[in-house]
Structure 1
Amino acid sequence: MANEYIDVETLKFLLNEVHDLEEILNLPEYNDHDSDSIDLLINSVKDFSDKEMYPYFKEMDENPAHFKNGEIVVHPQVSKYMKASGEMGLLAGAFPYKDGGMQLPSTVMNALGYIQEAANNHLPGYIGLTIGAAELITHFGNENLNQTYVPKMLNGTWGGTMCLTEPQAGSSLSDIVTSATPDGDRYKIHGQKIFISGGDYQGAENIVHLLLARIDGAPAGTKGISLFVVPKNRPDGHGQLAPNDVETVTDFEKMGQKGYCTTHLFFGGNGDCHGYLVGELHQGLKYMFLMMNGARIAVGRGAAAICAAAYQASLKYAHERAQGRKLASTGKKDVHQEQTLIVNHPDVRRMLLLQKVVSEGALSLVLLTSKYQDLSKSLQNAEEREKYALLLEILTPIVKTYPSEMGRVAVDNGVQILGGYGFCSDYILQQYLRDIRIFSIYEGTTGIQSQDLLGRKITMENGKALQLLSNEIKTTIKAAMVMDNLQAYAHTLGDKLQLTQDILKSLLGYAQKGDYERFLADATPFMDYFSNILIAWLWLDMAREAQQALLTGSKRHNTTFYESKIHAMQFYFTYELPKTTGLAEIIMNDKALTIGSKQKVFGNEY
């Protein structure tokens, strides 16, 4: 069981060799930790996941969270996991010492989260949202809010959520109507929130909602939104809890992640829901978005983990399932031969390699983005902090999107490898496919992320973030050019960077003319294109590190491990990177086929 869902060796290779965790641990904020202690932590979380998470993965899908008698019934392991996470420090890990945390870097926390997500992606969301809600309170809440709520959230006694979406508004947060009416030192909250992950469940003593609402008389749009702590049960200051007029309306039944409840909540149906302002008036969306980078990295991490677990399941099956025979030199099959394992068929290997390059490339992207997050917060030099903050900004929409979108494609290939069995509930691939589908919707859909990338991040500060990222890629290209077996791949990646400039020149021409609809119409194909190039960069960097280890003999892993990384890079550059040529042709085409009147686009169908 210990190796069924994750390749820890690859995780450690990426963490320590490719992304140089030591650089982060040498910063003053994190220098109480060292590589050995982090290695032990990784091993302990893997052991915990083996025993307390992975065994319940299929069971939680077969016995999903559901609404009954006014509350959400979840698998008993949810409450056990919350409490165990508090005891192990998984909730408090990233928090500073002053808040009772372990002061671990985001890079390490995401590595630990990745292991848990791969073991059972239904459980980590419960602690992830609790961490996010507690972070908002520690960053922006007053001392009373911090003392009242944060300790019990970080020890796993109370859960936490973020309440943004409303029935009539969806992703358009400027249209939220949940109201907050001043009432002494608090506010009366009234409204509904939907799709609230971990919003309520049986066995939770309390849920602390971080809720966006509009104070009476506030400006229209996003500028009039404030942030509130709204507990399910409000503490009375003497250790007792009183109901706070937060009603659970229902739990949404989903195609995947069935063990992770998703609720519809009604606040203030009886006029007695108390909310407590976090920070300043009308700054709620700003506060929420300061936490959004971490949330979007976590979504990408979860998708990368599911993709990796599906790859391990596919690989195991391919090494056990005998079917068909290898072609002889005559081009014909010898029916007298024994059947061969399907892993020996080239087309099955192609699908397995696709799963491998997507899952490991996605993990590398998650760890790199996490590293940029750590450097942007903790470097001493302000100019360097700004550099990594810009790199973090441009990678955030990509780290959320690539693992979610290409991870789904990779898992779908895993189902194909199993053939008919892949479609049957006896095998786990169908569950991974259902589970991963939500990740391209979480924390802003792919379309929203794509418009953010092209419309904001590419153009921010006159393209400074893009230039910094290009410089990082060119550094890898230069280092790979000195290695004979990597030169051709380095040249190819350099050519793709030039093609990117041509694409942006074409698109920015529309923006300069004020035709922003045309500029952003193909933002999603551009996301596909740009993500593909970034993953190619990360694979070239992995191959460079592997080749360096082989040349110098300073190997933490065996020769076969490093050679397989170089082979995977070659596969990516041969099978995946060429797809950017077709995408470039789409993006630079002057036909605007998705713009115009509905009648023109859909004809009689409309």
Structure 2
Amino acid sequence: MANEYIDIETLKFLLYRVNRLQDVLEMPNYEEYDKDSIDMLLNSAKAFSDKELYPYYREMDENPAHFKDGEIVVHPQVNNYMKVAGEMGFIAGAFPYDNGGLQLPSMVMNALGYIQEAANNHLPGYIGLTIGAAELITHFGNQHLNDTYVPKMLEGAWGGTMCLTEPQAGSSLSDIITTATPDGNSYKIHGQKIFISGGDYQGAENIVHLVLARIKGAPAGTKGISLFVVPKNRPNEDGSLTPNDVQTVADFEKMGQKGYCTTHLFFGDKEDCQGWLVGEAHKGLKYMFLMMNGARIAVGRGAAAIATAAYHASLNYAHERAQGRKLASTGKKDVNQEQTLIINHPDVRRMLLLQKAVTEGSLSLVFLTAKYHDYSVSHTDAEQREKYKLLLEILTPVVKTYPSEMGKVAVDNGLQVLGGYGFCSDYILQQYLRDIRIFSIYEGTTGIQSQDLLGRKITMENGKALQLLSEEITKSIKAGMAHETLSPYAKKLGEKLELTQKVLQSAIGYAMKGDYERFLADATPFMEFFSNILVGWLWLDMAREAQQALANGATEHSTEFYESKTHTMEFYYTYELPKTTGLAEIIMNRKSLTVGSDKKVFG
């Protein structure tokens, strides 16, 4: 059972061979690590997940987090996981040595997170938000805030959250009304926040909230938002804790991720909620969004992990379930033959190959984006840091969106492989489908990410990020053309790169005329179009590395393993990449059918 949710061989192939982790490890920040030490970490994470995460996955769905007597009751494994994850360095891993961390590359941290999320996606979010909150403090908080909160958070003794959303202000953060009133060295916080993942739970000694609020007299809109550390309990000089007037008033009951609590918090009901300013006043949203790249990579990673676990569950079923018979050469079935396993039916194989193509393509996208993040902060050449920062910016909305959207499709196909059993709670696929549904909403919906991609990232610095990305893809096309069996696919990818330019010329024409609403109206179809091509690029790289490994007699993996990568690339280019033609037709169509008008089209 423990091995059913992930293929560690594929993870290592994508991490080491395709995305070349070794290049990152050669940078001064990470030179203390090598492949052997990273392998030890990965193997430890897998053993840890086998024991502490995977066995509790269904239990946490069947016994969901819930609000009772003023607090959130969660599965007992939540507190145990926080403690053990802290001891093993899964929280402190990404932090510099000076902060008590392990100074691991983002690529490695994402590999460790992926393993855990594939095992049980309900638990890693608790440490994920703790990492995000602690990072904000270390980057922008003063020494007192760092000394008071960060060590306990990295140990897993205290949790952390990021509190943005309010009832009247979902994605529109300019409408935040939570207030902060100066009170000596701190501020009185008053307001409420909703959809706060891991916001409070029974047994948590302390939760450190990073809260967006407005100081009295602040400018309207996003320019007037500040960031505050607001703990559930205030630490005293003697180490004791005092309640800080942060009340949990509800837990949202969800269709999936039921073991991962999502709270409604009220700050300052008794006028005794204290918060401490992080950095400068009115720069809270800027600080928060500086950390969003990591959060959005994490969302894509989580979706890829769930889709991977679902793929392995449906693949195992297909190898065990006998149903029907193969067609004979006459085109008829011989009822006297024994039933065949459903893995032998072409349509089942099509669904399984789609899952494999999506999940492995998504994981490679996660690793590539994480690599760009590592280079953007650690490369010794300033010009290279700027280059990779731009590449990170343009890939971030894609890495959040493609695994989330296509992950849903992959899991849905996995459920279909099981037929009627897939719809029954006896089997795990229905839980994976419910759990993954939130990921296209987390950290900015698909619509928001799509507008960010087309409206900001494609056009930023006069299209420089897109130019740099096109250069990277062109390198892969040239390398693919050198392989006889890959050259037709490399040529096809080149044609899609040219099509991208035509699509963008058509769309940007609206912006040049000042019609920005029409420009962004089809941002989501453009995201699907663009993502599909990028994942095609990654599959070409995967197939090239597999073929080179075979040609060089590599023994890290079996011949069948390498051949399966090329086969899946061929499937992707046959079944998925052609969809971009239809999407291009949609985007370049001159009709404007979704922009508001006086016509009553929904009556």
TM-score range, shorter chain: over 0.9
Deviation at 1:596, TM superposition (A): 2.7
The aligned runs of 1:199-238 (5 Å cut-off) are 199-238=199-238
Task: Provide the secondary structure at the position in 2 that maps to 1:188.
Answer: strand
Deviations 1:33-61 (A, max 9, x none): 10000001100110000000000000000
The answer for the alignment partner of 1:52 in structure 2 is 52
**One-letter identity of the residue aligned with 1:356:** K
Deviates more, 1:551-560 or 1:146-155: 551-560
The answer for the alignment partner of 1:278 in structure 2 is 278
The answer for the alignment partner of 2:193 in structure 1 is 193
Cα distance in structure 1, aligned partners of 2:350 and 2:297: 28
Deviation at 1:598, TM superposition (A): 5.4
Would the aligned equivalents of 1:232 and 1:245 in 2 still touch at CA under 8 Å?
Answer: yes
Deviations 1:462-513 (A, max 9, x none): 0000000000000000001010000000000000000000000001110000
The answer for the alignment partner of 1:355 in structure 2 is 355
The answer for the alignment partner of 1:342 in structure 2 is 342
**One-letter identity of the residue aligned with 1:462:** N
**One-letter identity of the residue aligned with 1:521:** A
Deviation at 1:554, TM superposition (A): 2.8
**One-letter identity of the residue aligned with 1:582:** G
The answer for the alignment partner of 2:308 in structure 1 is 308
The answer for the alignment partner of 1:165 in structure 2 is 165
* Alignment: residue pair count: 603
Cα distance in structure 1, aligned partners of 2:555 and 2:525: 39
Q: TM-score, normalised by structure 2?
A: 1.00
Task: Provide the secondary structure at the position in 2 that maps to 1:601.
Answer: coil
The aligned runs of 1:71-220 (5 Å cut-off) are 71-220=71-220
Deviations 1:250-309 (A, max 9, x none): 000000000000000000011110000000010000000000000000000000000000
**One-letter identity of the residue aligned with 1:32:** E
Where structure 2 has 5 or more consecutive residues not aligned to the other structure, the ranges are none
Cα distance in structure 2, aligned partners of 1:596 and 1:70: 45
Task: Provide the secondary structure at the position in 1 that maps to 2:444.
Answer: coil
The answer for the alignment partner of 1:440 in structure 2 is 440
Cα distance in structure 1, aligned partners of 2:62 and 2:558: 40
Deviates more, 1:18-27 or 1:550-559: 550-559
Would the aligned equivalents of 2:323 and 2:342 in 1 still touch at CA under 8 Å?
Answer: yes
Deviation at 1:600, TM superposition (A): 3.7
Deviations 1:405-440 (A, max 9, x none): 000000000111000000000000000000000000
Task: Provide the secondary structure at the position in 1 that maps to 2:486.
Answer: helix
The answer for the alignment partner of 1:455 in structure 2 is 455
Cα distance in structure 1, aligned partners of 2:417 and 2:544: 30
Structure 1 pair 201–598 and aligned structure 2 pair: CA distance change class (3 A): farther
Deviation at 1:519, TM superposition (A): 0.3
Say whether 1:327 aligns with 2:327. yes
Would the aligned equivalents of 1:227 and 1:277 in 2 still touch at CA under 8 Å?
Answer: yes
Cα distance in structure 2, aligned partners of 1:314 and 1:257: 20
Cα distance in structure 2, aligned partners of 1:129 and 1:237: 26
Deviations 1:103-154 (A, max 9, x none): 0000000000000000000000000000000000000000000000000000
Deviation at 1:599, TM superposition (A): 3.5
Would the aligned equivalents of 1:91 and 1:127 in 2 still touch at CA under 8 Å?
Answer: yes
Cα distance in structure 2, aligned partners of 1:12 and 1:596: 49
Say whether 1:509 aligns with 2:522. no
The answer for the alignment partner of 2:466 in structure 1 is 466
Deviation at 1:459, TM superposition (A): 0.2
Would the aligned equivalents of 1:137 and 1:278 in 2 still touch at CA under 8 Å?
Answer: yes
Deviations 1:212-260 (A, max 9, x none): 0000000000000000000000011111101100010100000000000
Cα distance in structure 1, aligned partners of 2:581 and 2:558: 36
Would the aligned equivalents of 2:118 and 2:305 in 1 still touch at CA under 8 Å?
Answer: yes
Would the aligned equivalents of 1:594 and 1:601 in 2 still touch at CA under 8 Å?
Answer: no
Cα distance in structure 1, aligned partners of 2:280 and 2:237: 24
Would the aligned equivalents of 1:86 and 1:92 in 2 still touch at CA under 8 Å?
Answer: yes
Cα distance in structure 2, aligned partners of 1:409 and 1:523: 20
Task: Provide the secondary structure at the position in 1 that maps to 2:538.
Answer: helix
Deviation at 1:555, TM superposition (A): 3.5
**One-letter identity of the residue aligned with 1:143:** Q
Would the aligned equivalents of 1:181 and 1:216 in 2 still touch at CA under 8 Å?
Answer: yes
The answer for the alignment partner of 1:425 in structure 2 is 425
Task: Provide the secondary structure at the position in 2 that maps to 1:4.
Answer: coil
Cα distance in structure 2, aligned partners of 1:599 and 1:555: 65
Task: Provide the secondary structure at the position in 2 that maps to 1:229.
Answer: strand
Would the aligned equivalents of 1:180 and 1:216 in 2 still touch at CA under 8 Å?
Answer: yes
Would the aligned equivalents of 1:314 and 1:417 in 2 still touch at CA under 8 Å?
Answer: yes
**One-letter identity of the residue aligned with 2:77:** Q
Cα distance in structure 2, aligned partners of 1:597 and 1:521: 13
**One-letter identity of the residue aligned with 1:108:** V
Would the aligned equivalents of 1:593 and 1:601 in 2 still touch at CA under 8 Å?
Answer: no
Say whether 1:574 aligns with 2:589. no
Would the aligned equivalents of 2:2 and 2:54 in 1 still touch at CA under 8 Å?
Answer: no
**One-letter identity of the residue aligned with 1:208:** V
Cα distance in structure 2, aligned partners of 1:362 and 1:380: 29
The answer for the alignment partner of 1:524 in structure 2 is 524
Cα distance in structure 1, aligned partners of 2:459 and 2:364: 25
The answer for the alignment partner of 2:288 in structure 1 is 288
Note the aligned Cα RMSD (angstroms). 0.6
Q: TM-score, normalised by structure 1?
A: 0.99
**One-letter identity of the residue aligned with 2:32:** D
**One-letter identity of the residue aligned with 1:94:** A
Would the aligned equivalents of 1:322 and 1:341 in 2 still touch at CA under 8 Å?
Answer: yes
**One-letter identity of the residue aligned with 2:335:** V
**One-letter identity of the residue aligned with 2:479:** A
Deviations 1:496-536 (A, max 9, x none): 00000000000111000000000000000000000000000
Would the aligned equivalents of 1:82 and 1:156 in 2 still touch at CA under 8 Å?
Answer: yes
Cα distance in structure 1, aligned partners of 2:181 and 2:420: 57
Cα distance in structure 1, aligned partners of 2:479 and 2:596: 47
Deviation at 1:557, TM superposition (A): 0.8
Cα distance in structure 2, aligned partners of 1:195 and 1:503: 37
Cα distance in structure 2, aligned partners of 1:23 and 1:223: 39
Say whether 1:565 aligns with 2:562. no
Deviation at 1:551, TM superposition (A): 1.2
Cα distance in structure 2, aligned partners of 1:382 and 1:164: 33
Task: Provide the secondary structure at the position in 2 that maps to 1:540.
Answer: helix
Cα distance in structure 1, aligned partners of 2:454 and 2:244: 43
Task: Provide the secondary structure at the position in 2 that maps to 1:593.
Answer: coil
The answer for the alignment partner of 1:389 in structure 2 is 389
Would the aligned equivalents of 2:87 and 2:155 in 1 still touch at CA under 8 Å?
Answer: yes
Cα distance in structure 2, aligned partners of 1:370 and 1:379: 13
